[in-house]
Every structure is written in C-alpha cells, then in structure tokens.
Amino acid sequence: MPHFGPIRRKDFIRFLKELGFSGPCSGGRYEFMVRDSDKLRLAIPNPHKGEIGKSLLAELLREAGITRGDWEKLK
C-alpha cells in the first residue's frame, strides 16, 4: 500500500499502471501517461527533480480522478 506522501517517480508510474494507465509516452516538456477508458492524459513530473512531494502527488491524483482512499488501497 503506497503511503500518501513523497514517492519516487518510478513507484508512482508503477502504481498508475495498476490503476489502468499506460505509458509513459514522450511528448512536449513532460512524459505523460494515458488511460484510454476515459481518454485521460496525465503529465508525469521530470525524473531529475527527486521525489514527487505530497502536494504535487495530491494534485496529480486529483487530475487523474483518483481518490486518496483508492490510492492507499493499492498494493
């Protein structure tokens, strides 16, 4: 279960894949991941900036339509 806090980019991508996203795909300034079921495109932060902080994680999950409860249920 991922905690709701700072997380490595690699782990963030792995958990998004468990939630039905595919990618990451390259494009523009950021790589992005796609969930085809609702045609959602989510930009993934730069891998060279360290961990994804709690506030950015909250914003990304909101954009993806993932609740904190759903996030914390993942294995």
Q: Where are the domains of the chain?
A: 9-70
> Quick one: pLDDT at residue 49?
73
> Quick one: pLDDT at residue 72?
84
Asked whether the beta carbons of 54 and 7 are under 8 A apart, the reply is no
DSSP 23: E
Mean pLDDT score, 16-43? 88
> Quick one: pLDDT at residue 38?
74
Nearest-angstrom CA–CA distance, 29 and 69: 30
At residue 16 the predicted structure's pLDDT band, cuts being 50, 70 and 90, is very high
Mean pLDDT score, 31-58? 87
- Four-way CATH pick for 9-70: 3.30.420, 3.40.50, 3.30.920, 3.40.1520: 3.30.920
What the block records as the tokens of 73 is 């249920």
DSSP 58: H
Amino acid letter at 14? Answer: R
